[in-house]
Structure 1
Amino acid sequence: MGSHLVERLVHEGRPVRVFDLPGAAAKRLAAVKAKVELIEGDFQQAREVAAAVEGCEAVFHLIGTTVPSTSNRDPAYDTETNLLATLRLLEACVRAKVKQVVFSSSGGTVYGVAERLPIPETHPTEPRTSYGIVKLAIEKNLELFRHLHGLDYTALRIGNAYGPRLPVGGEQGAVGAFLKCLKHGEPIPLWGEGSAVRDYVYVEDVARAFRAALGQRSAHRVFNIGTGRGTSLRELIALMEHATGRKAAVESRSGRAADVPENVLDTALARQHLGWTPQVSLEDGLARTWKWVEASPEV
């Protein structure tokens, strides 16, 4: 997601510094690399993080070391590499007099099982994964740092983001993983009955939300970022078949304990206070993503 945000900020003429792992950003930022300051380093190294935020007015925090479906395998690692590392980032931001942190939280995991749909920001938070627990803990610490140090923040609870340049394969991101299977003629792994409903939001819409959060002065600091449209996995596969012109083979697998039946986000607050609404339909977004998948030799 970060590369799409960087491109948007660069096109506005804003000075941008990017902190990423060595070699990780080079290809994703190819279109704007010459116009950004790129610092390569390790998020776990406090000194490197402190140097990266020095002189910045705002920090967009999109770094993460785990994914929802696997985070429960090692919650200690998740906590150490995400929560503790973020606390060191916030401490560095206070020392550097950063004005605002915009954090990539998770609307798909912090709420747990939905009591009602669509899910508003006031919904109870009962995460089923270490990933969601850590995201929620970071939100709480952002509020603590605002109270203690005056460090302002916005937390975006993002739905199921998809689109070009997002991770493909593995156990994160159904859209990318499924389209990769279609490209190579492989069966699509389907956990459970395929009835799990998710809120799929296109990556460029997410980048617009991050930009809208920059400098926002609303009393609200936590916003859902999704479409308000729920799509089951089987419906998603049917839409992909239409977008690609290919017939999908499905390989059924046992349901995963951490998965929730439905997750659809209420984005009224973002519309009201950030002036943000999603612009790319799922059908259009899938077509754009498929075009990228087809053209990418590494996928």
Structure 2
Amino acid sequence: MSQAATPVPDPVTARVLVTGAAGFVGSRVVEMLAGTTDHRVIALDVVESPRLCELASLPAVDFRAMDLRDTDALESVVSETDAIVHLAAVRTQAAKKRPKDAHDINVGTTYDLLSAATKHGVRRFVFGSTNTIYGPYQDPATEPVREDRPWVPQGINMYAATKLASEAYLEAFAGLGGPEYIALRIGPIYGPRVSPGSNGSLSVEILHALDRSERPIVSWARDSVHSFVYIDDVAKAIVASLSAAQTGLAVNVVGAPVTAETFCSRIVELYGHDPSQIEWKSERTRYQRVSQGRMREVLGFAPETTLDEGLQSVINWHRKQSQPR
């Protein structure tokens, strides 16, 4: 895979706090910051895990198990940092089942982080948002959605609502002298270690079905369009946001639009099987076309990982995970 140039670290953001550090995105961000930049990383997550132990062994990474709702502990760690990458959240399916938890954690902890950041002079706040705040993408003829287009958030889910509220707090605190911010409206992410139950995990679910000699079942209609983005490209966008010259705005972080049929058929082919095995339920539709323009302008790059490269990396990781230990 081609490698994007890593932005030169800004001295004022040399100490970076990453929340949700054990998660799919957070762990890759910590790895990238530790391996390709001079930043010192404070990695936060609510519980210790084998994954966090791996991260804690990396150079310049300080792991701390912490519940973000512990405001005293939170303020103490924020006082040590120059920049915050806030990725911890109750995700889509859990937010649907536990909406109050989603509000308390997704919105409440964002508010508390911003409050502490304002108090202690944190310079930069990079927020992991979602492009589902634009709605369910039901119009097949829609133009790619831009961040500055007037829109009404009709049909959004609970997770998207918490992210939308948090984005409003980013701007409100900036107006009170708080940190400069970038809100990254991230598309569906795929790649090794993808989170179960996400749209990106469809790739792994297909591989598991093929391993069981079963027909992969896909709930999406064949012509549904997704803005899948590879995990390394998301991490690069987050790292680039720490030193981007423009702030105080939202930036879409998405891949090129691809149909469900292309995405699913291609991973089946790369795995050495016949795509005609796929059973299409056509229970869900989406036409998720999202502009990459501001990502190119503000962050200086667009995702470089091709679909075949990304899917092959999922296959390689899956095969390694499936080997006897």
Q: Distance in 2 between matches of 1:63 and 1:186?
A: 35
Which shifted more, 172-181 or 240-249?
A: 172-181
Identical positions, percent = 26
3-state SS of the aligned residue for 2:291?
A: coil
Instruction: Name the residue aligned to 2:163.
Output: 135
Matches for 1:128-207 after TM superposition, within 5 Å: 128-167=156-195, 169-173=196-200, 174-207=202-235
TM-aligned CA distance change 1:142 to 1:219, over 3 Å:
closer
Instruction: Name the residue aligned to 2:121.
Output: 97
1:226 has 2:254 as partner: yes
TM-aligned CA distance change 1:47 to 1:14, over 3 Å:
same
Q: Distance in 2 between matches of 1:204 and 1:50?
A: 30
Q: Distance in 2 between matches of 1:144 and 1:118?
A: 28
The structural deviation recorded for 1:291 is 0.5
The structural deviation recorded for 1:9 is 1.3
The structural deviation recorded for 1:111 is 0.4
Which shifted more, 231-240 or 284-293?
A: 231-240
- Alignment TM-score, normalising by the size of structure 2: 0.81
TM-aligned CA distance change 1:29 to 1:202, over 3 Å:
farther
Q: Distance in 2 between matches of 1:236 and 1:14?
A: 36
Instruction: Name the residue aligned to 2:267.
Output: 240
Q: Distance in 1 between matches of 2:189 and 2:247?
A: 26
The structural deviation recorded for 1:284 is 0.9
Q: Distance in 1 between matches of 2:286 and 2:159?
A: 17
- Alignment TM-score, normalising by the size of structure 1: 0.87
Q: Unpaired runs of 5+ in structure 1? A: none
Matching residue's letter, 1:284: E
The structural deviation recorded for 1:250 is 4.1
Instruction: Name the residue aligned to 2:143.
Output: 117
TM-aligned CA distance change 1:184 to 1:20, over 3 Å:
farther
TM-aligned CA distance change 1:270 to 1:220, over 3 Å:
farther
Instruction: Name the residue aligned to 2:130.
Output: 106
1:280 has 2:308 as partner: no
Matching residue's letter, 2:272: G
Q: Distance in 1 between matches of 2:52 and 2:315?
A: 17
Q: Distance in 1 between matches of 2:292 and 2:97?
A: 31
Which deviations, in whole Å up to 9, do the C-alpha atoms of 1:192-236 show, x marking residues without a partner? Answer: 534321011111111111111113231552101112x22222221
Q: Distance in 2 between matches of 1:202 and 1:136?
A: 23
3-state SS of the aligned residue for 2:162?
A: helix
Q: 1:264 aligns with which of 289, 302, 305?
A: 289
TM-aligned CA distance change 1:282 to 1:18, over 3 Å:
same
Matching residue's letter, 1:37: D
TM-aligned CA distance change 1:96 to 1:165, over 3 Å:
farther
The structural deviation recorded for 1:56 is 0.5
Contact 1:10 1:32 (8 Å CA) reproduced? no
3-state SS of the aligned residue for 2:204?
A: helix
Cα-Cα RMSD? 2.5
The structural deviation recorded for 1:13 is 2.6
TM-aligned CA distance change 1:80 to 1:219, over 3 Å:
closer
Instruction: Name the residue aligned to 1:85.
Output: 109
3-state SS of the aligned residue for 1:88?
A: helix
Which deviations, in whole Å up to 9, do the C-alpha atoms of 1:224-279 show, x marking residues without a partner? Answer: 1112x2222222111111221134644555735xxx62112211111112212111
Q: 1:62 aligns with which of 76, 83, 87?
A: 87
Q: Distance in 2 between matches of 1:190 and 1:71?
A: 23
The structural deviation recorded for 1:298 is 9.6
Q: Distance in 2 between matches of 1:72 and 1:197?
A: 23
Which shifted more, 86-95 or 139-148?
A: 86-95
Q: 2:43 aligns with which of 5, 13, 18?
A: 18
TM-aligned CA distance change 1:32 to 1:76, over 3 Å:
closer
The structural deviation recorded for 1:297 is 4.3
Which deviations, in whole Å up to 9, do the C-alpha atoms of 1:8-61 show, x marking residues without a partner? Answer: 21122321110012224x426726724210011212322332233221100101
1:6 has 2:34 as partner: no
3-state SS of the aligned residue for 2:246?
A: coil
Q: Distance in 1 between matches of 2:317 and 2:77?
A: 31
Contact 1:162 1:202 (8 Å CA) reproduced? yes
Q: Distance in 1 between matches of 2:88 and 2:79?
A: 18
Which deviations, in whole Å up to 9, do the C-alpha atoms of 1:76-108 show, x marking residues without a partner? Answer: 22112211122112112222321111011112x
